[in-house]
Amino acid sequence: MNTGLKTIDNLIHSFGVRTEEGADKSQSLTTFCGGDFRVNTVKMPFCIMQKILQTPQEKQLRLLQWFLPHKQARLASFLIDESGSVIEQVYFQRDAKHVEACRRIQKMVTRTYRQIAATPSVLAA
């Protein structure tokens, strides 16, 4: 992956895109059901919190947050629906290089989660 920023490329090379719930030094992934009140316990942008609270309870959403460990700062947050589409995103870094890197990460995240959504579940068999 070439985001244009070597530090972010190194994080992607080391950790990839997180698909299992949990956290490492570059990403965290949390799964929510629609209307889940756990949103109050997780630090997230208000617009993402509103989307989760307005979603029907039978729907699952994933919150994928990216961090810049060398700056001890957040890079981006993506809210992903069951079909693998990013339905809300927030970029925390404002300069052009980081915004372009976030756009490329978003494309990679969308591609990864759409592949997961297209894969038949083992439980369905």
- Select from 59, 67, 120 the least CA-distant residue to 91: 67
CA distances 91 to 74, 85, 120, 125, Å, are 8, 17, 32, 39
* Cβ 84 vs Cβ 121: under 8 Å: no
Domain boundaries, the chain: 6-117
Q: Is the pTM of this model over 0.85?
A: yes
- For the chain, 125 residues long, give each residue's pLDDT as a single digit of tens: 688 899 999 999 999 999 999 999 999 999 999 889 889 888 999 999 999 999 999 999 999 999 999 899 999 999 999 999 999 999 999 999 999 999 999 999 999 999 998 887 654 44
Separation between Cα atoms, residue 1 and residue 87, nearest integer Å:
22
